[in-house]
Amino acid sequence: MSFTEKTLTAFTEELASKAPVPGGGGAAALTAAVGVSLADMVGELTVGKKTYADVEEEMRSCMEKAQELRRALLKQIDGDAEAFAPLAKAYGIPKEDPERDAVMEEALKTACAVPMDIMRKCCEAIDLTETFAAKGSKLAVSDAGCAAVGLKASLQAASLNVFINTKAMKDRAYAEELEREAERMLAEYEKKADAVYRTVTERIRG
């Protein structure tokens, strides 16, 4: 059964268990999907209102992108589990096996692919959230702030799943390329998410 088909109770119980999956990557994908869903809700509460008629087309475009991201992020809950499977097997190969290093290296690269994708999607979602917070319904602005906070946490969580794997790679050029991209996303989008949160807080609290 897909993790996305489980109840929240079953999913979190499995997450808390000794089972190797779901883990941090799957949790990051789920929280990112929740975050972008909250952002989308701001759009849903904005379109159709006369007050926001001038931004309706932009809101609808952002909502469509948010829905695509939500679906893609949910798929990565299972995707992360599938990507981790080869690495789990590789760790079980005896250290004296001459093929272990090559198998491990490939498995590490596979395990990095999903959290890197989650990070990229979090960045896209934070961009959308910035628009929803600035132009969406004032009645739903707190949800845009919640979305920004959740997406920042997901971005950071996914990065940890990248760095723990790049650290073990023998191919340092490849590892450092991934690390630079991850660090760039963190540097830009942590600030952007924080700015959305501050803007929302100021609008709410005056």
Q: How many CB atoms lie within 10 A of CB 132?
A: 30
Closest C-alpha to 113, from 200, 15, 182: 182
Domain ranges of the chain: 22-205
Q: Does the model's pTM come out above 0.85? A: yes
Residue 206: pLDDT over 80: no
Q: Which residues contact 163 (CB under 8 A, 6 or more apart)?
A: 179, 182
Residue type, position 174, single letter: Y
Inter-residue contact 26 to 83 (CB < 8 Å): no
Mean pLDDT of 129-137: 96
Q: What is the pLDDT of residues 148-197, one digit of tens each?
A: 999 999 999 999 999 999 999 999 999 999 999 999 999 999 999 999 99
Count each helix (H run) and each strand (E run) in the chain, helices first.
6, 0
* Whole-angstrom distance, CA of residue 206 vs CA of residue 86: 52
Inter-residue contact 144 to 29 (CB < 8 Å): no
Q: What is the pLDDT of residues 46-74, one digit of tens each?
A: 999 999 999 999 999 999 999 999 999 99
DSSP state of 20: S
Query: Is the domain 22-205 a CATH 1.25.40.80 member?
Result: no
Mean pLDDT of 10-30: 92
